[in-house]
Structure 1
Amino acid sequence: MSTQVAGSAGSPAPAGFLGRGKTFSGVSPLGIGVAALWLSIIVLLPLAAITVQSFTDGWSGFWDAVTDPNALDALGITVLVSVVVALINLVFGTIIAWVLVRDDFWGKGFVNAIIDLPFALPTIVASLVLLSLYGPNSPIDIQLNATKPALIIALTFVTLPFVVRQVQPVLLELDRDVEEAAVVLGASNWTTFTKIVLPALLPAILTGTGLAFTRAIGEFGSVVLIGGNIPGETQVASQYIQQQIEIDEPVAAAAVSVMLLLIAFVVLLGLRLVSRRQRIREEADQ
Structure 2
Amino acid sequence: MFSGAVGPLGIGVATLWLSLIVLLPLAALAVHSVSDGFGTFWSAITAPAAVATLRITVGVSLVVAAINAVMGTLIAWVLVRDEFRGKKFVNALIDLPFALPTIVASIVLLSLYGPQSPIGLQLNATQPGLVVALAFVTLPFVVRAVQPVLLETDREVEEAAASLGAGNFTIFRRVVLPALAPAILSGTGLAFARAIGEYGSIVLIGGNIPYETQVASQYIQQQIEIDRPANAAAVSVVLLLIAFLVLFVLRAVANRGVRRQEEDR
Instruction: Give the TM-score of the pair, scaled to structure 2.
Output: 0.99
Alignment partner for residue 158 of structure 2, among 151, 173, 179?
179
What RMSD over aligned residues (CA atoms) do the two structures have, in Å? 0.9
Q: Distance in 1 between matches of 2:131 and 2:74?
A: 19
Match of 2:185 in 1: 206
Letter in 2 for 1:135: G
Q: Point out where structure 2 has 5 or more consecutive residues left out of the alignment.
A: none
Within the candidate set 199, 205, 227, 1:220 is matched to 199
Query: What is the match of residue 243 of structure 1?
Result: 222
What corresponds to 1:40 in structure 2? 19
The match for 1:109 among 65, 81, 88 is: 88
Tell me the equivalent position of 1:95.
Answer: 74
CA distance in 1, matches of 2:5, 2:98: 33
Residue 175 of structure 2 is matched in structure 1 by: 196
Say if 2:128 is the partner of 1:143: no
Q: Which amino acid aligns with 1:217?
A: I
Which of the numbers 242, 257, 264 marks the counterpart of 1:278? 257
Highest RCO, 1 vs 2 (Cα 8 Å, sep ≥ 6): 2
Q: Deviating runs (4+, > 4 A) in structure 1?
A: none
Per-residue deviation at 1:132? 0.5
For the residues of structure 2 that align with 1:83 and 1:77, how far apart are their CA atoms? 10
Q: 1:46, CA displacement in angstroms? A: 0.3
Q: Which runs of 5+ in 1 are unaligned?
A: 1-6, 8-13, 17-24
Q: Shift of the alpha carbon at 1:128? A: 0.4
For residues 8-60 of structure 1, give each alpha carbon's deviation from its aligned partner in whole angstroms, at most 9, with x where no partner exists.
xxxxxx4x8xxxxxxxx512111111100000000000000000000011111
Q: Look at both structures and tell me which one has the larger radius of gyration over its CA atoms.
A: 1
Q: Take 1:139 and 1:189, find their aligned partners in 2: how far apart are those partners? A: 40
The one-character-per-residue Cα deviations of 1:66-96 (angstroms, maximum 9, x if unpaired) are 0000000000000000000000000000000
Return the letter of the residue paired with 1:195. Answer: R
TM-score after normalising by structure 1: 0.91
Amino acid at match of 1:247: I
SS of match in other structure, 2:179 = helix
Aligned twin of 1:163: 142
User: 1:200-232, CA deviations, whole angstroms, 9 ceiling, x for partnerless residues?
Assistant: 000000000000000000000000000000000
Shift of 1:186: 1.1
SS at match of 1:71: helix
Q: Distance in 2 between matches of 1:284 and 1:36?
A: 33
Corresponding residue SS for 1:222: helix
Q: Percent identity?
A: 71
- Matched with 1:64 is 43
CA separation in 2, counterparts of 1:224 and 1:126?
A: 10
Secondary structure of the corresponding residue to residue 200 of structure 2: coil
Q: What residue in structure 1 maps to residue 238 of structure 2? A: 259
Q: 1:124 aligns with which of 103, 119, 126?
A: 103
Give the aligned partner of residue 248 of structure 2: 269
Aligned residues: 265
